Amino acid sequence: MSERTIFLQAIEIADPADRQAYLDQACQGDASLREQVESLLKTHEETSQFLETPAVSFDSADQATVVHDSTDDREEREPETTTAELELKKYLDPPTREGWLGRLGHYEIEEILGRGAFGIVAKAFDERLHRVVAIKMLSPELATTSPPRKRFLREARSAAAVQQENIVAIHAVEEEPIPYLVMEYIPGPTLQQRMDTKGPLEMSEILRIGRQIASGLAAAHAVNLIHRDIKPSNILLTDGPQERVKISDFGLARAVDDASMTSSGMIAGTPMYMAPEQARGETLDHRADLFSLGSVLYQMASG
């Protein structure tokens, strides 16, 4: 497991004893690796206080997510290398369709859609229900460690708790042979890709997309769930004349009354879009998501 991956997982663990236990397991006695990771953790804690305001000076290509790295933002959309295919095929049965990658239970895997720091996303076909789905699998190198598994299951439960047309639906969650989520497949682009292509959007489009994001957030907030990472790359747009917004990636979501949300003082989210109180590691409520929505609206208007 890489230094970067261990660091990204460790900063999510609030309890010091649990974090040390995770480092013991992840570093596997490698003193040099342990020292490097602990140095990164110390630097992260010291610099967290610096983020008292959103880091709006970042270029879009360099935006950093404090809990999960920026490659995660694109994991469901970017073309993937054969490396991910090779990793994934270890857990797949032989395919029944020519040219496909293999089978995972009753799901036939067609292609890799992308890969981030925490998982691999693939397009698949559900043989039982005869529908196209997206499958998000925990990276094999993380599948045996407890914190990543917990985060993975939290994402599934968070998203599954909200049933609303503007939120990507979770169909199932499985743990064998590797933890994976079965999700609604959205064939269209992300909002980030739309803006990269078109630049500033027309006011009518901004209002239409903004209303749907707000509607999805209202449904999440109604069950006391805060997304904490609303940004253009987490907003999917369906294909077709009746384009619909779908909010994705509930990996950082928390219940409003979840004490672990701020007990560690760690910052979770993407600096360019987060509310000031989120950047300071303070207690959050639904207004943090509304601030992020405002940042997204501004970017849609300004390009």
Q: How far is residue 141's CA from residue 148's CA, in Å, rounded to a whole number?
A: 10
Inform me whether the pLDDT recorded for 145 exceeds 70.
no
Inform me whether the pLDDT recorded for 9 exceeds 80.
no
Inform me whether the pLDDT recorded for 143 exceeds 50.
yes
| pLDDT-derived band at 252, boundaries 50, 70, 90 | low
> Which pLDDT score, from 0 to 100, does residue 296 have?
96
The residue length of the chain stands at 303
3-state SS track over the chain: CCHHHHHHHHCCCCCHHHHHHHHHHHHCCCHHHHHHHHHHHHHHHHHHCCCCCCCCCCCHHHCCCCCCCHHHHHCCCCCCCHHHHHHHHCCCECCCCCCCCEEECCEEEEEEEEECCCEEEEEEEECCCCEEEEEEEECCCCCCCHHHHHHHHHHHHHHHCCCCCCECCEEEEECCCCCEEEEECCCCCEHHHHHHHHCCCCHHHHHHHHHHHHHHHHHHHHCCEECCCCCHHHEEECCCCCCCEEECCCCCCEECCCHHHCCCCCCCCCCCCCCHHHHCCCCCCCHHHHHHHHHHHHHHHHC
Q: How far is residue 276's CA from residue 282's CA, in Å, rounded to a whole number?
A: 9
> Which pLDDT score, from 0 to 100, does residue 52 have?
37
pLDDT digits (tens, 9 = 90+) for 73-117: 444 444 444 666 676 777 788 888 988 988 999 999 999 887 765
> Which pLDDT score, from 0 to 100, does residue 90 have?
78
* Residue 119 in tokens: 């998982």
Average pLDDT over residues 162-176: 88
CA distances from 45 to 28, 202, 212, 264 (A): 24, 41, 36, 10
For residue 141, give every residue at least 6 positions away whose Cβ sits within 8 Å of its Cβ, in sequence order, or none: 1, 5
> Which pLDDT score, from 0 to 100, does residue 139 have?
73
Inform me whether the pLDDT recorded for 262 exceeds 60.
no
User: How much is the pTM?
Assistant: 0.66
| Active site residues per annotation | 229
User: Does residue 219 contact residue 167 with C-beta atoms inside 8 Å?
Assistant: yes
Helix axes 146-160, 16-27, angle to 10 degrees: 120
> Which pLDDT score, from 0 to 100, does residue 70 have?
38
CA distances from 257 to 66, 251, 274 (A): 22, 17, 19
Q: How far apart are the first and last CA of the chain?
A: 38
pLDDT digits (tens, 9 = 90+) for 172-215: 888 788 788 899 999 889 999 999 999 999 999 999 999 999 99
pLDDT digits (tens, 9 = 90+) for 120-129: 888 999 999 9
Average pLDDT over residues 143-155: 67
> Which pLDDT score, from 0 to 100, does residue 137 have?
83
* Residue 54 in tokens: 């959103």
* Residue 280 in tokens: 């300071």
Q: 53-62, 66-75, 225-234: lowest mean pLDDT where?
A: 53-62
| pLDDT-derived band at 258, boundaries 50, 70, 90 | low
> Which pLDDT score, from 0 to 100, does residue 108 have?
95
Inform me whether the pLDDT recorded for 237 exceeds 90.
yes
Averaged confidence pLDDT in the chain = 77
Residue whose structure tokens are 């027309």 = 202
Q: How far is residue 102's CA from residue 92's CA, in Å, rounded to a whole number?
A: 5
3-state SS track over 71-112: HHHHCCCCCCCHHHHHHHHCCCECCCCCCCCEEECCEEEEEE
Q: 44-48, 77-81, 134-138, 210-214: lowest mean pLDDT where?
A: 77-81
